[in-house]
Amino acid sequence: MSDKPTPKTRVLGTLSALPSSPSEAVLDKVVNPHLDTKYVARFSAPEFTSLCPVTGQPDFAHLVIDYVPDQWLVESKSLKLYLASFRNHGAFHEDCTVAIGKRLFELLEPDFLRIGGYWYPRGGMPIDVFWQSGTLPEKVWLPEQGVASYRGRG
């Protein structure tokens, strides 16, 4: 266990309303209990939703977030609320995916983080967006993200 004090979580253990926007959402972090081990933590959000900034119509994606923690882990309840805050947020697929990756990387300062945004088609064309930062440590197993290709692809 780390000698580093755990920051006080602001979401865990509280009744939490859905944030009205990603900028208002709180992301909490907790101390990584296995500082002596390099490993991958994965979060999947198969029902991620945001709004098209032009039409206001809903956009849907399957997000997969993989990271190799250093000192910090993201607290999962705050992450769920943060991701849900995009439901009423208008942004293009690329903006949503990259903004989530950057915010998590800034918060956690992990060794490595990647996010895959597998967006469902609108106008007949799916858009997949990928972002990563940091360096994958040697001998760390990073599995494929496991999201099936859109069946309309050749």
Question: Sheet holding 128-134: strands in order across?
Answer: 41-51, 58-68, 112-119, 128-134
Please check whether residue 97 is in contact with residue 143, taking contact to mean a CB–CB distance below 8 angstroms. no
Catalytic residue among 3, 28, 36, 52: 52
- In the residue annotation, 96 being an active-site residue is answered as no
- In the residue annotation, 59 being an active-site residue is answered as yes
Token digits for 132? Answer: 């990563």
Catalytic residue among 28, 59, 66, 96: 59
Is residue 6 classed as helix, strand or coil in its secondary structure? coil
Which residues are tagged catalytic? 52, 59
